[in-house]
Structure 1
Amino acid sequence: MSKMTNRFAATIAAAMLAGAMAAPMAAWTAGIGVAYEMAAMGRPMFVDVSYPYFDFGSVSGGTTPVSDNGAAASKGLNFDLTGHALSIGLRIPF
């Protein structure tokens, strides 16, 4: 490893030990897709359909005031970011 990489890793580790930074979290995606080849106007074309699922983990926050009147939030912020998507596309190679 280079000296820069070692310094970066040491800085991250020190911040995590001091509680200034949360431990790294993992995110993942999985998906499936199909492509159908068709010839139109004498050129190959592909119709693609794909379905990805993603999970970017959870995030929790404190009860920091959320308005200008200084009132604290009634409960902490919690986000669990996951999602589904359906994608349909047309590819025309050149």
Structure 2
Amino acid sequence: MAYVECKSCGLKEEANKTFFLKVLGGGAVGGGFWAWVTYFFAGTGFAFVICVAIVTGGVALLAFSDEITKWLAERYDCPSCKKRNWRLVKD
């Protein structure tokens, strides 16, 4: 389980964003493969490029989910002290 912790006041919150990033990443990989197999983008002239971009984006979400979670957490104010000083903590 991963948490984001405020470095200023010590408030911890569960990092549910990680779960959603992994689900979105897996869905993008599966969706890109499905789009290629079913000829979803046929006739556009860029079908292969579009499907590769979808799959690559999904893999990037899976590979960098911790970094993305940290980046997102640093954009929100702490509800307790109103500072933006977070760190990612894994249990």
TM-score range, shorter chain: 0.3 to 0.5
The structure with the larger Rg is 1
Say which structure is richer in strand: 1
Bigger share in helix: 2
TM-score w.r.t. length of structure 2: 0.33
Q: What is the TM-score with the length of structure 1 in the denominator? A: 0.32
